[in-house]
Amino acid sequence: MTGHDHSHEHSELGEMDLRVRALESVLTQKGYIDPAALDVLIDTYQTRIGPRNGARVVARAWVDRAFRDWLLKDATAAIASLGYTGRQGEHMVAVENTAEQHHMVVCTLCSCYPWPVLGLPPTWYKSAPYRSRAVKDPRGVLADFGTVLPESTRIRVWDSTAEVRYLVIPQRPEGTEGMSEEELAALVTRDSMIGTRRVEAPATPGSAA
pLDDT digits (tens, 9 = 90+) for 28-42: 776 766 777 766 666
Question: Of 111, 132, 160, 192, which residue is the catalytic one?
Answer: 111
Q: How does pLDDT run across 123-136, given as a tens digit for each residue?
A: 899 889 999 999 99
Question: Of 25, 81, 112, 192, which residue is the catalytic one?
Answer: 112
Whole-angstrom distance, CA of residue 60 vs CA of residue 23: 42
Query: Is 112 known to be catalytic?
Result: yes
Per-residue confidence (pLDDT) for residue 1, from 0 to 100? 53
Mean pLDDT in the chain?
Answer: 84
DSSP-H helix ranges across 32-176: 35-44, 50-63, 65-73, 75-80, 115-118, 123-126, 128-136, 138-144
Question: Of 107, 127, 132, 160, which residue is the catalytic one?
Answer: 107
pLDDT of residue 207 exceeding 60, the answer is no
Whole-angstrom distance, CA of residue 144 vs CA of residue 121: 18
Whole-angstrom distance, CA of residue 6 vs CA of residue 193: 22
> Would the pTM of this model clear 0.85, i.e. be above it?
no
Whole-angstrom distance, CA of residue 88 vs CA of residue 28: 30
* Helices 65-73/50-63 angle, 10° precision: 120
Question: Of 11, 25, 110, 152, which residue is the catalytic one?
Answer: 110
Specify the 3-state DSSP secondary structure of 7.
coil
Better pLDDT: 117 or 100: 100
Length of the chain in residues, anyone? Answer: 209
Residue 66: pLDDT band with limits 50, 70, 90? very high
Other Cβ atoms less than 10 A from the Cβ of 190: the count is 23
Closest by Cα among 187, 191, 99, 113 to 145: 191
pLDDT of residue 3 exceeding 70, the answer is no
Query: Is 81 known to be catalytic?
Result: no
Residue 119: pLDDT band with limits 50, 70, 90? confident
Distances (CA, A) of 52 to 63, 109, 144, 175, 195: 17, 27, 24, 21, 16
pLDDT of residue 98 exceeding 60, the answer is yes
Phi, psi dihedral angles at 188 (to 5 degrees): -80, 130
Q: How does pLDDT run across 144-182, given as a tens digit for each residue?
A: 999 999 999 999 999 998 889 999 999 999 999 999 999
pLDDT of residue 105 exceeding 80, the answer is yes
Query: Is 110 known to be catalytic?
Result: yes
pLDDT of residue 9 exceeding 70, the answer is no
Whole-angstrom distance, CA of residue 113 vs CA of residue 131: 13
pLDDT of residue 16 exceeding 50, the answer is yes
What is the dihedral angle through the alpha carbons of 106, 111, 116, 119, rounded to the nearest 10 degrees?
Answer: 90
95-114: average pLDDT: 92
Query: Is 152 known to be catalytic?
Result: no
Taking a C-beta distance cutoff of 8 angstroms, is the pair 85, 116 a contact?
A: yes
